[in-house]
């Protein structure tokens, strides 16, 4: 299993950052590899979200997103053509009026991918993703 994690402070409140993370259908506006994202089903605080991503080629997968407003979003793999498993979370806390966002992801691929390459695939886009969220926070909240 390949995994990655990071922690970053964003210039907004946890509530504001949560609104960005939970607005799945806006992901294509600021995450360049996400070409489409739609909520397929809602069950209480869980949403089944389908992602269309382009990393070398196009892939589709669905995740069950479990939302705890303003503090945490966790996910687990529901189906798709790239992952065998995928789970992770955003954990949001207040840090002096700003938001500390802790991000974790673990995944196994549907096809054989050597361990070091799988880890690189999971980690390679992390800095770009965090930069995209920083930019989105700046655009929405100044």
Q: What is the pLDDT of residue 64?
A: 98
- As beta bridge partners, residue 36 has 52
Q: Give dist(CA 90, CA 71) in Å, integer.
A: 8
CATH number at residue 10: 3.30.530.20
Task: Give DSSP secondary structure letters for 103-140.
Answer: EEEEEEESS---HHHHHHHHHHTHHHHHHHHHHHHHHH
* 3-16 residue pLDDT tens: 889 999 999 999 99
At 48, which helix (H) or strand (E)?
strand 46-55
Structural domain for 76, as ranges: 2-141
Number of structural domains the chain divides into = 1
Please state, for a pLDDT cut of 70, what percent of the chain lies above it.
91
pTM over 0.75: yes
* 99-124 residue pLDDT tens: 999 999 998 887 776 666 566 566 66
């Amino acid at each position: 299993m390949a995994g990655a994690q990071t922690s970053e402070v964003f210039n907004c409140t946890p509530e504001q950052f949560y609104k960005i993370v939970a607005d799945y259908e806006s992901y294509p506006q600021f995450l360049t590899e996400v070409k489409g994202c739609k909520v397929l089903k809602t069950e209480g605080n869980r949403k089944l979200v389908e992602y269309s991503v382009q990393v070398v080629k196009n892939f589709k997968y669905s995740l069950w997103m479990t939302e705890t407003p303003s503090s945490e979003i966790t996910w687990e793999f529901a189906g798709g053509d790239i992952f065998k498993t995928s789970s992770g979370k955003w954990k949001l806390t207040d840090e002096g009026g700003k938001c500390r966002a802790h991000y974790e992801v673990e995944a196994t691929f549907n096809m054989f991918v050597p361990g070091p390459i799988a880890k690189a695939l999971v980690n390679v886009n992390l800095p770009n993703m965090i930069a995209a969220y920083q930019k989105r926070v700046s655009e929405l909240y100044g």
